[in-house]
Amino acid sequence: MIVSENKVVSLAYELRINGKNGEVIESVDRNAPLTFLFGAGSLLPKFEDNLAGLKVGDSFDFNLVSEDAYGDFDESSVIKVPLQAFQIDGKVDYELVKIGNKIPMQDSEGHRLTGLVKNVDMDSVTMDFNHPLAGNHLFFKGEITEIRQATEDEMTHGHLHSAGSCEGCESCGGEHSGCC
């Protein structure tokens, strides 16, 4: 069996930035691998491309340039938000509005975004809405630990129904009553 559409793939890997021998920012152990439905669009398309055709036990070592990962760092995504936007009952919650905090927010079209607080001054909060990995080339190294055929339900729903986990089931939107 090889990594391809409608297969459930497990892998262990290390993700580094700043070069092949750069800092490890994510480490996924073979005892708790990343398991996903290949081709369902849950991971970066170029990440999947690099795994296609591999077998269990095969190792991989590739990098994704930022354009194929989380994009370039965009200065226009660093914005000043009026401090009033963080007021609850007329008071700013300074436990929330603190440099380094990540705050879930919504844009004017209702899209959910996470903003990182970069600075707080008298009347505004500078927030960075870039993906934390924007502007970084990603270096992946790891091994395929398991491949299985997806079940009919998994293929229809486009997500996993593995051992008690309901991963991604919100995407069903309640449409599939038998889901998890």
* List of residues contacting Zn ion (CB under 5 A): 157, 169, 172, 179
Q: Using alpha carbons only, how large is the chain's radius of gyration in Å?
A: 20
* Distance from C-alpha of 5 to C-alpha of 9, rounded to nearest angstrom: 10
Instruction: For the CB of residue 157, give the shortest distance to Zn ion in the complex, in Å.
Output: 3
Instruction: For the CB of residue 111, give the shortest distance to Zn ion in the complex, in Å.
Output: 24
Dihedral (C-alpha) 32, 38, 42, 46: value to the nearest 10 degrees? 100
Which of residues 79 and 169 has its CB atom nearest to Zn ion in the complex? 169
80 closest CA partner among 31, 129, 26, 141 = 129
Instruction: For the CB of residue 158, give the shortest distance to Zn ion in the complex, in Å.
Output: 8
CB of 147 closer than 8 Å to CB of 6: no
Which of residues 44 and 169 has its CB atom nearest to Zn ion in the complex? 169
Longest Cα–Cα distance in the chain? 60
Which of residues 52 and 172 has its CB atom nearest to Zn ion in the complex? 172
Instruction: For the CB of residue 110, give the shortest distance to Zn ion in the complex, in Å.
Output: 24
Which of residues 35 and 50 has its CB atom nearest to Zn ion in the complex? 35
